[in-house]
Structure formats: structure tokens, C-alpha cells
Structure 1
Amino acid sequence: MKEQRPQSPLFAKTYDMVVWLIPLTLKFPKAQRFLLAERLGGMALDFYDLIAQAVMEPELQGELLHRADRVLARIRLYVRLSHDLQCMSLGQYEHAALRLDEIGRLLGGWLRKRRRDGV
């Protein structure tokens, strides 16, 4: 049986962010690559998994989206830390911040829609 592939705008934006972020973390300085880069990449993949699960498992959507919101907040902190430790340029930080802001707005919209629908 062919598994359903998530196609929500949030999933697509998250996918694009992960595809951009993972290669960037592989270029972090060696001293940070195995600590900061691994954590940031892992959280990005965790967020991606949560969004994919929320699309494919509507009965668990509320819990999954709230967990995703908490992971997204941590990703933002780690992106800022990466910039402050000079693992990301200002341009890369701005790019990441804009993408994360857009993803956060989409996630917030999904959560608000669920509340309005009484789910």
C-alpha cells in the first residue's frame, strides 16, 4: 500500500527549511559540529517528523502540533546561538529567522483553526 505523502503548506515549508539547514550545519566549525550542529539538525528533523505525523494522523493532531510548537521554539533558540557563536553568518541567520517565522505563522494558523473548529 502506498503511504500518503503530506502536502500541507507547513509541511512543504518545513521540508525546504530542513533541506537548507542540514547542509549548513555540516559546515559548522569542527568544535561545534558534534554538539550544536547535531542538536540543531536533530531538532529540525524532529519538527519535520511531528508535522508529517500531524498531517497523516488527524486523531493525534492536537498533541503533535503542540509538541511541534515547543520544538520550533527550541530551534529558534539554537539558530540564534549558532549565529552568536559565529557558526552562521548574519545573512544565514536572517534567512533562517525569516523561514522559521513563516513556519511559526503557519503552525499558529493551523492551531487556531483547530480551536475555531472545536477540535
Structure 2
Amino acid sequence: MNEIPIFAKTYDLLRWLIPATLKYPREHRFALALRTQQAAFEFNELIVLARKTRDKRELLVRADAHLEQLRLYLRLGHDLQLLSLRQSEYVRREVGAVGALLGEWMKRVGVRSSTE
């Protein structure tokens, strides 16, 4: 079982996301930027814990919820014109790739998605 790609992709996402959200205007920096960063950091913390835990299912479900929150905050950032179209498309692809890796991991440990 090899979950390593999800950690590398998540690191790359965080490395891009932090400076991008710090450029949000002051009136959005402390609400939307902070929540966006927190969702990404909490996602990362949950997958690290899942890697170190025998029963990964609950942690992966929680990580999936944080990834969904991150998607919402990024879409909001684009809709409020805090992220350019190019930035939004890039980060959407990256989050999608992380989500695909998470989905594969969840299937391997027997987590059914809420849409099944």
C-alpha cells in the first residue's frame, strides 16, 4: 500500500496555496484566506494521522470533508475575484488530483463514499 503520492501532492498544494491566499485583500485575508488555509492544513493533518493509525476510515472521511470545504473556499475566492481564472483552474486541478488519490486510498481501506 503506497499513499506517498498524496503527501507529495498535498505538500505542493500547500506550498502554492499559502502565498496565493496571503495576497488576498485585507478584508478577505482574515476570513476567507485563513479558512482556506485551515481546511488545507487540517486535511494534511488528518491524512498524516491516517497513515499512522490502524483504523484509517474515520480519519479519511474527515479528511474528505475538509477537502470539500477547501473546494468551496477556493470557488468562493474565484467568484469574489481573489483568484484569477488561471489560478483557479490550476488549483482546481491540483485539488482534484489530491481528491482522486484520497478516493483511491479510501477504496483500499473500505470506505464507501457518501454518493454510493
Cα deviation, residue 60, structure 1: 3.5
Cα deviation, residue 43, structure 1: 0.8
Say whether 1:31 aligns with 2:31: no
2:96 counterpart letter in structure 1: D
Distance 2:64 2:13 in 1: 15
Structure 2 residue aligned with 1:101, among 93, 96, 99? 96
1:17-75 residue CA offsets vs partner (Å, 9 max, x unmatched): 01110111100011100110011011110011011111122x23111101000110110
1:26 counterpart letter in structure 2: L
- Structure 2 residue matching 1:32: 3-state secondary structure: helix
2:15 counterpart residue number: 19
Unaligned runs of 5+ in 2: 112-116
Larger Rg over CA atoms: 1
Structure 1 residue aligned with 2:52, among 49, 52, 56? 56
Say whether 1:66 aligns with 2:58: no
Structure 2 residue aligned with 1:115, among 97, 110, 116? 110
Q: Percent identity?
A: 46
Cα deviation, residue 14, structure 1: 0.6
Provide the alpha-carbon RMSD of the alignment: 1.3
Distance 1:65 1:12 in 2: 17
Contact 1:8 1:55 in 2 (8 A): no
TM-score (norm 1): 0.87
1:85 counterpart residue number: 80
1:10 counterpart residue number: 6
* Runs of 4+ that moved beyond 3 A: none
2:30 counterpart letter in structure 1: F
Structure 1 residue aligned with 2:41, among 33, 45, 54? 45
